[in-house]
Structure 1
Amino acid sequence: MNAAVSDRITLVRHANPEAWTDGVAKEMETVLAHEIEQRGRARMLLSGGTTPAPVYETLAELPLEWARVEVGLADERWLSPQDRDSNAWLVRNSFLKHAEGAHFDPLVRIGKPLAECVHDANLQAQHSQPACLVVLGMGNDGHTASLFPGSRDLGWALASTQTYAALDATGCPVANGWPLRITLTPQGFAPIGTRLLLLRGQQKLDVLNAALESNDVARYPVLAAINAPGPRLRVHWCA
């Protein structure tokens, strides 16, 4: 493991995928254990996708008091939590079914309209223990969570004063046929003490460097997580 610190991010390079998986899971365990020791409970926000799934599986095997851990989502597709393409399904099957006792709060509630789900998510964010940790990914287009460049609601979501916002990514190819989303906003990133961005492959590192050089958050929304106040974004990368 090799960490490089800049004034904007901490880039942690891992020798191989196994070291990457173990290193990220161990850092998450350390953050959660410290929060439990200090506050009695810990809350974290997770992202979907295939990249973090091995990390979640490894984390669930570590000896934490999972009954003291609450789990939420950084974003979600407008799908039932039981749909295999939802982030909720991935988190349940890669993490929750192994971390016995952990409590999960999905963003989508069956039978409720999108606006009401967003309202409920923001109410919960206001009244729950603040998240101590968020795990993020990044697409090759520079999006993170569901903040997609070129989406019609991006400007509104970036300027929102709420923790979560609805976003319509119609016309964004990487939305993969699920344009309606609920996403964490820059306001939502800001109070989280540990923000982890998980990247694999040279192309993702090139996109990250392009984002840092451009400093154009509308083109590279991952900058919303990089530029959020507080501790530097920690980027875990391996080839």
Structure 2
Amino acid sequence: MNLLETSDRFTLVRHGDADAWIEAIAAEMAQILTYDIETHGRARMLLSGGTTPAPVYQALAELDVQWDRVEVSLVDERWLSPQDRDSNAWLVRQSLLNRADGAHFDPLVRVGKPITECVYTANLQAQHTEKPSVAVLGMGNDGHTASLFPGSKDLARALESTLPYAALDATGCPGANQWPLRITLTPHGLRQCRQRLLLLRGKQKLEVLKQALESNNAQLYPILNAINLESAQLRIHWCD
């Protein structure tokens, strides 16, 4: 059995090239947001940072969405000021918010506040706003998603949390690079999202995904925590 082709937990959509990949994901996101705006009056989306999703956000900003009814926040964030160029907030602002006039943005890091207070505020906000329409996820070559890094001393606590967000110290985890301190969405937070999209580029990412499915070890491959949810299927968009 080909684990990448047959699953009741996810749908893998393969695209012929990068342009088709960008166009299809942006269109799907716009459709999700528009449906929730029409159904609930507002929509909320949680975005990941990184160079992979940036062109998708740029394309999404050009589509016909009622941006003044959209709230934007983050899947995760490095412990950096939102004005820092290495922060996810900065990337989202540059690729989407500066183009999507009227959209409201809630960063996870509040300047001058300790990380515990920032996590508390993020959880309070998540519990008193509409459930996210969509969360956009990525996956590292180590199998992490959001800031759920394999080998992190805080991983088990984050995976078991009954709150949407948690602080995580990924010191010693190569995938965290020079930013070990993070705020991350938890599996509980992911479960609240009506739709979840995983954006992947390159054959190596497919190989990592296959290894994760074969292992069925959600501590070793935290991406499985986005796949093994009882809620709506994870939609995986891939191109080489």
TM range (shorter): over 0.9
1:57-72 matched pairs, under 5 angstroms? 57-72=58-73
1:95-114 matched pairs, under 5 angstroms? 95-114=96-115
Uncovered stretches (5+) of structure 2, i.e. residues with no partner: none
Q: What number of residue pairs does the alignment pair up?
A: 237
* 2:175 alignment partner in structure 1: 174
Distance in 2 between the 1:7 and 1:127 partners?
A: 31
Distance in 2 between the 1:27 and 1:10 partners?
A: 14
Q: Sequence identity of aligned pairs in percent?
A: 67
* 2:8 alignment partner in structure 1: 7
Give the deviation of 1:4 after TM superposition: 5.1
The 8 Å contact of residues 131 and 194 in structure 2, kept in 1 or not, is answered as no
Secondary structure class of the residue paired with 2:168: strand
The 8 Å contact of residues 83 and 89 in structure 2, kept in 1 or not, is answered as yes
Secondary structure class of the residue paired with 1:43: strand
Give the deviation of 1:129 after TM superposition: 1.2
RMSD: 1.0
TM-score by length of 2: 0.97
Aligned AA for 2:206?
L
The 8 Å contact of residues 42 and 70 in structure 2, kept in 1 or not, is answered as yes
Secondary structure class of the residue paired with 2:167: strand
Deviations 1:153-183 (Å, cap 9, x if unpaired)? 0000000010000000000111110000000
The 8 Å contact of residues 66 and 100 in structure 1, kept in 2 or not, is answered as yes
Aligned AA for 2:189?
G
Secondary structure class of the residue paired with 2:139: coil
Q: Does 1:50 align with 2:51?
A: yes
Q: Does 1:92 align with 2:93?
A: yes
* 2:237 alignment partner in structure 1: 236
Aligned AA for 2:76?
D
Dislocated runs of 4+, deviation >4 Å: none
Give the deviation of 1:225 after TM superposition: 0.5
Secondary structure class of the residue paired with 1:183: strand
* 2:189 alignment partner in structure 1: 188
* 1:144 alignment partner in structure 2: 145
The 8 Å contact of residues 69 and 102 in structure 1, kept in 2 or not, is answered as yes
Deviations 1:186-238 (Å, cap 9, x if unpaired)? 00011211100000000000101111111100000001100122111000000
* 2:205 alignment partner in structure 1: 204
Distance in 1 between the 2:167 and 2:105 partners?
A: 20
Aligned AA for 2:137?
L
The 8 Å contact of residues 154 and 170 in structure 2, kept in 1 or not, is answered as yes
Secondary structure class of the residue paired with 2:110: coil
Uncovered stretches (5+) of structure 1, i.e. residues with no partner: none
* 1:129 alignment partner in structure 2: 130
Give the deviation of 1:51 after TM superposition: 0.1
Secondary structure class of the residue paired with 1:109: coil
The 8 Å contact of residues 10 and 234 in structure 1, kept in 2 or not, is answered as yes
Distance in 1 between the 2:63 and 2:89 partners?
A: 21
Give the deviation of 1:5 after TM superposition: 5.4
Give the deviation of 1:130 after TM superposition: 1.0
